[in-house]
Chains A and B, each alone.
Chain A
Amino acid sequence: QVQLVESGGGLVKPGGSLRLSCVASGFTFSDYYMSWIRQAPGKGLEWVSYIKNSGSTIYYGDSVKGRFTISRDNTKNSLFLQMNSLRAEDTAVYFCARGHFGLEVWGQGTTVTVSS
């Protein structure tokens, strides 16, 4: 079945780095834009980044621009989010999702906690 599985979350100190991964199955990954969305504890949803199926078009939200890098490996059906210079306000559940319009498939999320 169509599935997205995130990994790579954890506890990191302010200023540190993490790399999130999302593995897709059940659909032709290279046909789709992919997105990262995050949700801070008890808060709403925030679109972080999206990448075109070819990787040629990328968008970042202002809050992460210059610190986060989205990438993908279509040969491995994988999406990545490299997060550098992490701040306390980056603490959230990070979801990968298929698409960049309506997001019709979501992973279960991976938790990132930035704390000293």
Chain B
Amino acid sequence: ELKVEQNPLFLSMQEGKNYTIYCNYSTTSDRLYWYRQDPGKSLESLFVLLSNGAVKQEGRLMASLDTKARLSTLHITAAVHDLSATYFCAVDNYQLIWGAGTKLIIKP
């Protein structure tokens, strides 16, 4: 059974700090997606990673994919309050297999 594990599941951090969310998965796949969800809202696509070594950046967020290690990371640089949300990774294995989500709270 394909499993996708995110850690941490909850992260509280101060503005201005850097941190990384990890997404490990248990089978081979070369496609992985990151989504953001604000409280009470739907999911918004952030990054599409389509090959080993893929790196995408948008503002203070950077995502990368290492298919050999079966690991993707979402790095937050100099966090700001507006990035507070729940972040999900999803592995493409014919259907999307989702991580449990990381709830990120950024305090001023």
> Do A and B make up one complex?
no
A→B interface (CB under 8 Å): none
